[in-house]
Amino acid sequence: MKRTILVIILGIIFIAQAVKANVVKELEPTPLEKFIKENYPKAKKAEKGLYYLIEEKGNGSKPKEGDYVVLEFEGKRLDGTLFDKSEVEPFVFQLGHRQVIKGWDMLIPRFPIDTKVKIFLAPEFAYAKVGAGKLVPPNTPVMFDLHILEILDDEAYDRYMTELEERERERYHQKIKDQFDADKTAIHEYCMDNKIKTKRSRAGVSYSVTKKGKGAYPKVGDRISVQYRGYLLNGETFEETKEKKPFQFVVGQGRVIKGLDDAIVSFNKGAEGLILIPSKLAYGPMPIEEEGINIPAHSILVFKIKVMEIESPEEKK
């Protein structure tokens, strides 16, 4: 009987100690709470693990569930490491539809249009146990700088997205043009430095015939065989034909990059020379990494070529 009483007493003591330990653990500040206390003591608590500090208060309406919110943002870890931000255009999402992390859906309805605010999120309101890429490990508290710009209904959202697509299309075409101009300048400087005299095709490919060939020039539909070495402006070879095994293609059928198709018509049988192709007429922004070929994005390509044969469909008849 006494042993039973002793066991019960020890059990009560153990439970009391465990409860006390849990209470102490609950009272200890989390890394986020400690960070806020030391750096942003004026931040307000929405609930445990969810804090905000209004830097500039807006005076417009507040977003509600279902509204589309337009905002600018920067996301950082507590050590200041930037892991995400809005770029040229603001970020747009529909509030309350789980399109963003939980903390955003919970806090943003508090802030009227034109508010600038810092929000601080414990992991359970941010990226939880999953994390976000290499810059946000699992169970990491984060903070965001937000600027609420607009609130859109369905009709305004559709109009906004149409205008956004048009702006993005214009930026894309301008970017391509700027890269094309930069490539042509780089080719010109390369040729000047290496004392290469070139002509330029209508499409914008530079070429130099260093040894003239004989006979007719290739035309669309002709099958042409060439020996070549392809390299970058830094001299690094990315591909070349093997001896006695030329490369064959039909001119004008899109079987090769546009720049090569464009300039090859200036080389007849036996002709040798160089073809310098701006990235727009090669692989553009797409890097090529396959079967030992390594071509970075936006690379200018140089081909040293020799035309071995030109076969016209008419000759077969």
Per the structure, the count of domains in the chain is 2
CA dist., res. 195 & res. 180, Å (int): 22
- The reply to whether 210 falls in a domain is yes
Residue with tokens 């390299």: 231
User: What is the number of other CB atoms lying within 10 angstroms of the CB of residue 80?
Assistant: 7
Residue 215's pLDDT is what? 92
Specify whether 292 is located in the same domain as 243.
yes
What span, in angstroms and rounded, lies between the C-alpha atoms of 270 and 226?
9
Same domain, 137 and 195: no
Shared domain check, 107 and 36:
yes
Using DSSP's 3-state secondary structure scheme, residue 8 falls into: helix
Q: What mean pLDDT is reported for the chain?
A: 92
* Spatial distance between the Cα atoms of 5 and 31, rounded to a whole number of angstroms: 43
Q: What is the pLDDT of residue 3?
A: 55
Nearest to 136 by CA among 176, 78, 186: 78
Degrees, nearest 5: CA angle 47-48-54: 55
3-state secondary structure of 103: helix
Stretches in the chain below the pLDDT threshold 50: 24
Q: Please check whether residue 263 lies inside any domain of the structure.
A: yes
Helix (H) or strand (E) holding 175: helix 154-193
Residue 10 has a pLDDT of 54
182 inside domain: no
My answer on whether 312 and 207 are in the same domain is yes
Residues 140 and 194 in one domain: no
Range of the domain at 142: 31-152
- 86 three-state secondary structure: coil
CA angle 183, 187, 193 (to 5 degrees): 145
Query: Is 17 inside any structural domain?
Result: no
pLDDT in tens, 35-87: 999 999 999 999 999 999 999 999 989 999 999 999 999 999 999 999 999 99
Amino acid at 114: D
The DSSP H or E segment spanning 263 is helix 258-263
- If asked whether residues 191 and 306 sit together in one domain, one would say yes
Paired tokens of 141? 């508290």
Residues 128 and 199 reside in one and the same domain: no
236: nearest Cα among 194, 179, 294, 305: 294
Q: E strands, the chain, where?
A: 44-47, 50-56, 68-77, 82-85, 91-94, 116-121, 142-152, 199-200, 206-211, 223-232, 237-240, 247-250, 272-277, 288-290, 293-295, 301-311
- Same domain for 193 and 84, yes or no, is no
Residue 57 in domain = yes
- pLDDT score at 24: 46
Tell me, what CATH number does 85's domain have?
A: 3.10.50.40
Does one domain contain both 61 and 105? Answer: yes
| Chain segment 142-182, per-residue pLDDT in tens | 999 999 999 999 999 999 999 999 999 999 999 999 999 99
Q: For position 29, what pLDDT does the model report?
A: 82
Claim to verify: residue 129 and residue 191 sit in the same structural domain = no
| Cβ atoms < 10 Å from Cβ of 186 | 15
- Write down the pLDDT at residue 149: 97
> How far is Cα 163 from Cα 43, in angstroms, rounded to an integer?
37
Give the end of a domain, one of 152, 167, 201: 152
Q: Nearest Cα to 46, choosing from 102, 130, 129, 127? A: 102
